[in-house]
Chain A
């Protein structure tokens, strides 16, 4: 872009017609470039980031899963929600609800849990354990901030 501006200004030194347009074009270009670089980081912050600055930490994963369960209207007793709640025994969810919760966890963390592992997730701490065992959380982090 800089090269075209330079070329244009060089040409305007010889050509009358171009010289008239170049003083308008040059400041407009420069200001739009500055604006773009100012907006770029803020637009990124507005997007939802799935990895915190220090990767996925246990309290954060727990918090996100518990928040998700808070919004799940079939939880019979929200006061029993804790990091160690069992989906069926503590929260009163049936087996189909459990599948739905695991599905919601998949959507929350943008992952796909294979059937075998998904069948083994019956409690909040099991889910947290599985999420933390995923290498993706850290690789996304290093990709974004490297």
Chain B
């Protein structure tokens, strides 16, 4: 199980840090250190499952929530809209829907065209 998680993590680093060799190497080294740090866990230890789940979640975050930006000569990476930065958004990048934020208990947002004053 741990090896499968390790493989998934390496695959995720390949997607997240494509073409960025220093960062890719650092990420893989970090992944390896993380696994070695937990290497003493016994198979029957309940912490093992948690550690593996943690690794799987890290790979999910890497794939879905990291977008590479390439500076095209401008000052700041923030200026993506102005065309100074080229963003690499790939097919697995999470495309969230802001409607669901801050809506607890399964409340649904209704888009009916009303403004706040009309409610």
Look across to chain B and name the residue whose beta carbon is closest to the beta carbon of A113.
B7
Q: Which B residues lie at the A interface, using CB under 8 A?
A: 3-4, 6-7, 10-11, 14, 28, 32, 35-36
A95 proximity list for chain B (CB < 8 A)? 3
Look across to chain A and name the residue whose beta carbon is closest to the beta carbon of B36.
A96
Task: Say yes or no for A29: interface residue by CB 8 A criterion.
Answer: no
Bound: A94/B35 CA distance, A: 12
The smallest beta-carbon distance between B40 and chain A, in angstroms, is 14
* Chain A interface, >50% SS class: helix
Query: In which size bucket is the chain A interface?
Result: 10 to 19
The smallest beta-carbon distance between B33 and chain A, in angstroms, is 10
Bound: A105/B7 CA distance, A: 13
Given contacts A96-B3, A102-B7, 13 further A-B contacts (CB under 8 A): A95-B3, A96-B6, A96-B35, A96-B36, A98-B3, A99-B6, A100-B10, A103-B7, A107-B14, A112-B11, A118-B7, A119-B3, A119-B4
The smallest beta-carbon distance between A12 and chain B, in angstroms, is 42
User: Please, could you name 13 A-B residue pairs with CB atoms under 8 Å apart, sorted by A?
Assistant: A95-B3, A96-B3, A96-B6, A96-B32, A99-B6, A99-B7, A99-B10, A100-B10, A100-B28, A103-B10, A107-B14, A118-B7, A119-B3
